[in-house]
Structure 1
Amino acid sequence: MPVIIVENKEKVIEKLSEIIEKTAASSISKHGKFLVGFSGGSLAPFLATGLPKIKTDFSKWTIFFCDERLVPVNDPDSTFGLYKKTLIDSGAVPLKEDQFVQIKQGVSAEEAATAYENKVKEFFPNEKLPVFDLLLLGMGPDGHTCSLFPGHKLLNETSRWIAPITDSPKPPPSRVTMTFPVVNNADVCAIAASGKEKADMIKRVLVDKENLPAARVQPASGNVYWIVDKDAGLHLNK
């Protein structure tokens, strides 16, 4: 589990962008496309800053969501809405709206999860589990990743690729999320964090090895990269 400690937030974005660029190039070279999962939260501004600077053939990208809130696209809590505004509408990168595999809105979490799983299966026909080229993950202040929260029953989900959640401890309560079998079947996972407010949780995950959701990101035959700045990695060298 490579842990990369860099000077500051700008360097976190730079290193994350480097991993994205390298993974995209390898995937496009290998199978002519790049299948990547985005998360929201603190990752979104990292990508808004970093993606316009990378060298890649964006036309080969298909973007999925590691999780999504069941709110309208124009709601501030919409992860797709956030990327639509910062990446597509702004013209920051040449990505089109139809390159984002979106979650159905205006339906129950159960229906949205089933519909999204079926969409994902179109890209991975006849596979027991999808193999994403890269999943870009975040970590919340409670150690959650995707919408997989500490102590929640979804941590033990083994049969579904995409699961509904209606009791998220963090609002909004209704969401859909990739499950751990999917996350840990990816070729590469990357978790980027910056700031002192992340330091204690990063210690709990990476040093104390507590059984928190973010600590369970361990791709079976792939790599997980943790990219943190000195503030977030405060306790890692002690």
Structure 2
Amino acid sequence: MYTYMLFQAAMSSRRVVVFPSSAELGPVLARLVCDRAQTALNAGRSQFTLGLSGGSLVSLLSKELPAQPGLDCSKWVVGFCDERVVPFDDPESTYGLYKNQLFSKINIPENSILAIDHTLPVEECAEDYARKLNQVSSNEDVPVFDVLLLGMGPDGHTCSLFPNHPLLQETQKTIAPISDSPKPPPCRVTMTLPVVNAARCVVFVSTGGSKAPVLKEILEGGEGPALPAARVAPSQGELLWLVDEPAAASLALQVERPGPGARL
């Protein structure tokens, strides 16, 4: 019953938007982030809060965000949806990748980038990072991000929330440690589902034909326990899936196919 309710909630609020390729998807994603930033600041909030994920999103955002006309990130605060507990110069460090490829190209203040302390043991690292993310919305029990950008693995995992892992049931912690990740490196910290589902806007980006089977299961429902990405259903916010044609190849549901220059 719980799985069915999650699936119905996600269906009621989500948009599935399909692009011919990531080349067409990237500029729309960048415009979406900038538009939501302007919306947040126009609403009187002092900052725009953005949660980043790694993988292909790093190169996509690093190419498209700096190309946005009049980009001003001076009131942005950036956190990470999950992070590997490795030094920042390690190729597995999501912060390190963004620092090298994106942050040097935009005018975001260094103290507005919330990074983990990778020198701490994983449990302490998670507690320390949870304290940092509480700066995002100090009046809330759970940090409320304006936008979270998520990826999805071929197994249906998102953040560092993996299928059948006990962290899927976590309701108290906002940031949780994981020391037995099925994907290396084993030690990570991750946002939990309460934080993800508190966001004002959650955007999944999924590309490539290898994602087609699991994307169909997540978006159209499948037997058995809901995969981690299927458990993302923002209670008050938007849920958008931005995918390319190869990833969407098996979908039977109704989707949007915007034209060039579209805004979402």
For Structure 1 versus Structure 2, the TM-score category normalised by the shorter chain is over 0.9
Equivalent residue runs for 1:1-238 within 5 Å: 1-30=14-43, 31-54=45-68, 55-88=70-103, 91-209=104-222, 211-237=226-252
| Residue 182 of structure 1, CA deviation | 0.5
Q: Percent identity?
A: 45
Spell out, residue by residue over 1:3-49, the C-alpha distance to the aligned partner (whole angstroms, 9 max, x if none).
00111111111221121111111012121311110011121111111
Please state whether the residue corresponding to 1:52 is helix, strand or coil. Answer: coil
Are the equivalent residues in 2 in contact too, given 1:199–1:233 (CA < 8 A)? Answer: yes
| Residue 108 of structure 1, CA deviation | 0.9
Structure 1 gap segments, 5+ residues each: none
Please state whether the residue corresponding to 1:122 is helix, strand or coil. Answer: coil
**Over the residues paired in the alignment, what is the CA RMSD in angstroms?**
1.3
| Residue 72 of structure 1, CA deviation | 0.2
Are the equivalent residues in 1 in contact too, given 2:30–2:64 (CA < 8 A)? Answer: yes
Rounded Cα–Cα distance in structure 2 between residues aligned with 1:132 and 1:168: 25
Spell out, residue by residue over 1:54-93, the C-alpha distance to the aligned partner (whole angstroms, 9 max, x if none).
24321011100100000000000000000011013xx422
Please state whether the residue corresponding to 1:53 is helix, strand or coil. Answer: coil
| Residue 221 of structure 1, CA deviation | 0.6
Spell out, residue by residue over 1:143-182, the C-alpha distance to the aligned partner (whole angstroms, 9 max, x if none).
1000000000000000001000000000000000000000
| Residue 95 of structure 1, CA deviation | 2.7
Deviates more, 1:205-214 or 1:108-117: 205-214
| Residue 209 of structure 1, CA deviation | 4.4
Rounded Cα–Cα distance in structure 1 between residues aligned with 2:107 and 2:147: 19
Are the equivalent residues in 1 in contact too, given 2:207–2:244 (CA < 8 A)? Answer: yes
TM-score, normalisation: structure 2: 0.86
Cα–Cα, structure 1 residues 223 and 209, in superposed 2: closer, same or farther, change >3 Å?
A: farther
TM-score, normalisation: structure 1: 0.95
Q: Which runs of 4+ in 1 moved over 3 A?
A: none
Are the equivalent residues in 2 in contact too, given 1:39–1:146 (CA < 8 A)? Answer: yes
Structure 2 gap segments, 5+ residues each: 1-13, 254-264
Rounded Cα–Cα distance in structure 2 between residues aligned with 1:2 and 1:64: 24
Rounded Cα–Cα distance in structure 2 between residues aligned with 1:66 and 1:109: 16
Please state whether the residue corresponding to 2:105 is helix, strand or coil. Answer: coil
Please state whether the residue corresponding to 2:194 is helix, strand or coil. Answer: helix
Please state whether the residue corresponding to 1:126 is helix, strand or coil. Answer: coil
Please state whether the residue corresponding to 1:59 is helix, strand or coil. Answer: coil
Rounded Cα–Cα distance in structure 1 between residues aligned with 2:143 and 2:110: 22
Please state whether the residue corresponding to 1:4 is helix, strand or coil. Answer: strand
Spell out, residue by residue over 1:110-151, the C-alpha distance to the aligned partner (whole angstroms, 9 max, x if none).
000000111111332231111110001110111100000000
Aligned to 2:260: none
Q: How many residues align?
A: 236
Are the equivalent residues in 2 in contact too, given 1:68–1:177 (CA < 8 A)? Answer: yes
Are the equivalent residues in 2 in contact too, given 1:209–1:215 (CA < 8 A)? Answer: no
